[in-house]
Amino acid sequence: NQGGTCYLNSLLQTLLFTPEFREALFSLGPEELGSLDDGSKPDAKVRIIPLQLQRLFAQLLLLDQQAASTTDLTESFGWNSHEEMRQHDVQELNRILFSALETSLVGTSGHDLINRLYHGTVVNQIVCKECKNISERQEDFLDLTVAVKGVSGLEEALWNMYVEEEYFENENLYRCGTCDRLVEASKSAKLRKLPPFLTISLLRFNFDFEKCERYKETSCYTFPIQINLRPFCEQTEMDDSEYMYELFSVIIHKGGCYGGHYHVYIRDVDELGNWQLQEEEVRLIEEKALRDTENAKEIENPLEVLKGILSEEESKQIPVDQLGQKLLEKKGVSWNKKYRKQYGALRKLV
C-alpha cells in the first residue's frame, strides 16, 4: 500500500484472480509489448502499462514474498504523487485502468481484451402512444451503476431500472419527432448485450442538497450468490445458462464518503492463494493430509516431470519464466493447479 491505495490493491487482486483476464494478459509476449529494458530507447515501442501489470502479477504468483510493490504500475499511469493516488475511488480506477490498457494494447492481439470480457450494452427506448414510433439510443458500459437509496437489494434495483417503465403524461409530455407535438409516451431500458464478467457498482455516495454535503448510504443491501438476468434483457430466447451469473468478487468500502478503507473477497477458482483457516478446521485438514500421504506415491514427482520436459528440448535449457507454460502445454494442467499447494511456487522449487 503506497498510502491510501487500498482501492487499487483490491481491484488488482480481483483482476489477478480472474483466470480469463490473467491468461489473456500473459499470452502477450515481448514481440507485441516490447521490453521494459528498452523503455529508455527513443525509438523503442514499449507498452509500459501491460508490461508493468504482467510483472506485478508474476511477482504475486511466483515469488515467495508477502507483498509486491505497485509503484512501477502507478507511475506507468502517470501518478507520481500521493495526491494523485488518493483522489480516486475503486469505480473510477476501474475505468482509468481499463481505458489505459485499451489504449496500450491497440495494434496487438489483445486489443479487444477489455471489450471481450467486460463490455455490454443497454438500449433505451421511448415509444410514442400516438404513432407508435420508437426512439432508440444504445449505450455501452464496462460497469453498471445501480441505486442503493430506497431499495432493499440488487434485484429490486435492476427491476426498477430494466423492467419498470416511466410514463410521460398529464403535465409531463414527450415531444415526438414524427407527430411533431407533445404526446403521451413510455420510456424503458433493457440490457441488450451481456458481458462474460458483469461489474456492478453501488451508488452509495450521494449529495444532500439541503445540507450541501456528501453522505454515504449505509442501509442494508442484499445481493444473491447467483442471479438470472433474463427478466432485464431485451432478448430472452437464449438458454438459461446465458443469463446466469455467479458472484465472483466483492470489493467492500468501510468508512464514510471522505475516507475509509477498501478490502475484497474473491472466489479463488484456480486455488492460487494460501489460506489460513479457523483453528477448529485445522485439525480436520491435518487428518486429511495424513490420509493423503498414503496415496502420495500415486502423485507424479514434479521434479521428474520438469526433467522430462527439459530432456525434450534440443538445448536442454528453458528460461524459468517459460517453464510453467511448457508444463501447461505438455501436461494440460498448470503448476499452480496441480503442484503449488504441496510444493509452493515453481520459481522457489527450481
d(CA 338, CA 267): 18
Q: CA-CA distance, 23 to 2, in Å (whole number)?
A: 27
228: helix, coil or strand? strand
Q: How far is CA 173 from CA 127, 133, 162, 165, 226, in A?
A: 12, 15, 21, 15, 39
Amino acid at 259: G
Give bridge partners of residue 133 from the DSSP assignment: none
Query: Does the annotation mark 82 as catalytic?
Result: no
Reduced DSSP (H G I as helix, E B as strand, rest coil) percent helix, strand, coil of the chain, to 5? 40, 20, 35
The 10 Å Cβ neighbour count of residue 12 is: 21
- Given the residues 119, 128, 233, 261, the one annotated as active site: 261
Alpha helices in 105-165 (DSSP H): 113-118, 154-162
CA atoms within 13 A of residue 62's CA, in its CB half-sphere: 16
- Per DSSP, what are the bridge partners of residue 128? 185
Q: What is the DSSP letter of 103?
A: H
CA–CA gap between residue 219 and residue 145 (Å, rounded): 17
Task: Tell me the backbone φ, ψ of residue 260, rounded to 5 degrees.
Answer: 150, -160
Q: Cell numbers 501447461 label which residue?
A: 328
Out of 6, 128, 176, 233, the active site residue is 6
Cα 341 from chain centre: 24
CA distance 122 to 98: 19
Q: Are strands 200-203 and 144-147 parallel, antiparallel or unpaired?
A: parallel
Query: Is 88 part of the annotated catalytic residue set?
Result: no
What ranges in 146-278 are assigned the alpha helix state H? Answer: 154-162
* CB 209 within 8 Å of CB 201: no
- Which residues pair with residue 252 across a beta bridge? 263
The set of catalytic residues is: 6, 261
